[in-house]
Amino acid sequence: MPELPEVETVRRGLQRLTLGFVVNEVDALLPRTIAAPESVDAFAAGVVGSGLTGWQRRGKYLLGKLGDDEQRGDRGWLGVHLRMTGQLLWVAPDTPVSKHTRVRLLGVAQDGAGERPWELRYVDQRTFGRLWWVPPRVETDAVMTGLQRLGPEPFSDEFSVAYLRRSLQNRKRSIKSALLDQALVAGIGNIYADESLFLSGIHPLTQCATLAEERGDRLDKLQKMVVQVLRTSIDAGGTTFSDFVGVTGVNGNYGCEAWVYGRDGEPCKGCGATLERLKIAGRSSHFCPRCQK
């Protein structure tokens, strides 16, 4: 499943490739991919004639700003959530359409080479991903309601040690399940939760309250490690990026360099102990029984 670094990598690719792209036709092969407005026709009416003027990311949501082709007037937003297996492809319209293609945004790309017919294609094997059109002068979270429950961005000042301590105190649940909760911090998934807990020396089953109340600097370290593993992964994704605006494997860009994620049964790179796996909050947690207490 794409997590924050993969989605940020996609955002950078979209920002680099798609600015100035004007949509002139929407082909929704799987209409329920469009979450809002209610009909594909209304979605198409909102998006057609609009040009992409910039891409933002909030948690794992992508937000494409739409402007009027002539005057760059406000035409609302194109929202995208890739969920499990969604991919955005930036392709020539005659590129063979795979059976997992869900929505085709056909239009005209504009860059140094001039204008040419082009396509932003949404492909999704598992079909959990969604697209939205948010009309002008409407708040994005009024339409993309999942945005309402997102906690702070991990790179924002709001995601501080003080914020973490305040949010975790008196909470009995495990730190692993708290990190997976998008209301605590936006964009963290299983890979980066496991990696940051390892780098902070924290056992995934540690109670939030215990961590918030203990003396020492583990919470401080956790806050720093969350930011660090995300940055490392974004940097890795950014360097390998091509014209393929997408994410593929379930391991993300960080998978091959992981300390613990997906490595249960293998030796810890820190101490040599055999790494273990536990189910927490319905997800596999990977950890070192010796380095993480």
Binding interface with Zn ion (CB under 5 A): 268, 270-271, 273, 288, 290-291
Q: Which of 11, 58, 60, 104 is catalytic?
A: 60
State the nearest-atom distance from the C-beta of 175 to Zn ion, in Å: 18
DSSP assignments along 204-247, one per residue: TT-BHHHHHH-SSSHHHHHHHHHHHHHHHHHHHHHHS--S----
User: By the 8 A CB rule, do 6 and 252 touch?
Assistant: yes
Active site annotation includes 176:
no
Distance of alpha carbon 288 from alpha carbon 163, whole angstroms: 27
Q: Cβ closer to Zn ion: 93 or 270?
A: 270
State the nearest-atom distance from the C-beta of 276 to Zn ion, in Å: 10
State the nearest-atom distance from the C-beta of 270 to Zn ion, in Å: 4
State the nearest-atom distance from the C-beta of 200 to Zn ion, in Å: 13
Active site annotation includes 115:
no
Distance of alpha carbon 148 from alpha carbon 160, whole angstroms: 20
Active site annotation includes 172:
no
Distance of alpha carbon 144 from alpha carbon 105, whole angstroms: 20
Q: Cβ closer to Zn ion: 117 or 289?
A: 289
Q: Cβ closer to Zn ion: 68 or 276?
A: 276
Instruction: Residue 86: name the closest of 190, 4, 1 by CA.
Output: 1
Q: Cβ closer to Zn ion: 119 or 194?
A: 194
Q: Cβ closer to Zn ion: 154 or 204?
A: 204
Instruction: Residue 153: name the closest of 254, 234, 251, 258 by CA.
Output: 234
> Which residue's Cβ lies closest to Zn ion?
268
State the nearest-atom distance from the C-beta of 96 to Zn ion, in Å: 47
User: By the 8 A CB rule, do 35 and 263 touch?
Assistant: no
Distance of alpha carbon 245 from alpha carbon 87, whole angstroms: 7
Q: Which of 224, 269, 277, 283 is catalytic?
A: 283
Active site annotation includes 60:
yes
DSSP SS3 for 203: coil
Report the catalytic residues.
Answer: 2-3, 60, 283
